[in-house]
């Protein structure tokens, strides 16, 4: 049985949220302005997806919702509604590549997420080949 990837939802202080260093998502100024007006008027937004920061205990890396967190800061919110996921570095990269393709655009160009996904798939294929070779030798 696989371990649960979802830890749970909770309010997290905005100062404890940091962008993932590989975030490649950008948003047009027009769309960002609309999002800011919506959040400012309604206070509603999708949960920010985060994971525990592997290098800074007590902090969280944003996997999805970088722009929402920036806007919440600008609107002087002190906390954000977050959904905490239990994922390793490989899964975090995969989520960054896939979730960021659902909204916004790649900062690194139109095909950055495609390149990242291909790299992740090839790394997974190499890992499987190594495991299979090890089993054959055993």
What angle (nearest 5°) sits at the alpha carbon of residue 16, between those of residues 14 and 17? 70
Query: Please, which pLDDT band fits residue 125 given cuts at 50, 70 and 90?
Result: low
pLDDT tens digits, residue range 95-121? 888 876 544 444 445 455 555 556 666
Domain assignment of residue 1, yes or no: no
Q: Sign of the C-alpha dihedral, residues 46, 47, 53, 56?
A: positive
For the record, the structure tokens of 116 come out as 């990242």
Q: What is the pLDDT of residue 124?
A: 61
For the record, the structure tokens of 63 come out as 């996997």
Q: pTM score > 0.85 for this model?
A: no
Number of domains the chain is built from:
1
Q: What is the pLDDT of residue 106?
A: 43
Domain assignment of residue 115, yes or no: yes
CATH number of the domain encompassing residue 106? 3.90.1530.10
> What domain range is 74 assigned to?
6-137
Q: What is the pLDDT of residue 6?
A: 73
Domain assignment of residue 69, yes or no: yes
Domain assignment of residue 79, yes or no: yes
Are 82 and 13 in contact by the 8 Å Cβ rule? The answer is no
From the list 37, 44, 45, the residue with the least C-alpha distance to 103 is 45
**Position with higher pLDDT, 126 vs 102:** 126
Q: What strands lie across the sheet with 48-52, from one edge to the other?
A: 6-13, 79-85, 48-52, 60-64, 17-19
CA–chain centroid gap for 60, Å, is 10
């Amino acid at each position: 049985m696989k371990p649960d990837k979802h830890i749970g939802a909770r309010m997290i202080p905005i100062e404890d949220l940091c962008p993932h260093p590989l975030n490649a998502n950008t948003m047009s100024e027009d769309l960002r302005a609309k999002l800011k007006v919506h959040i400012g008027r309604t206070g509603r937004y999708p949960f920010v997806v985060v994971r525990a920061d592997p290098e800074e205990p007590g902090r969280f890396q944003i996997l999805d919702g970088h722009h929402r967190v920036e806007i919440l800061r600008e609107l002087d919110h002190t906390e954000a509604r977050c959904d905490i996921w239990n994922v390793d570095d490989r899964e975090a990269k995969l989520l960054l590549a896939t979730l960021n393709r659902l909204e916004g655009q790649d900062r690194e160009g139109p095909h950055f997420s495609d390149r990242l996904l291909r790299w992740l798939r090839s790394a997974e294929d190499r890992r499987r080949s190594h495991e299979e070779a090890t089993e054959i030798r055993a």
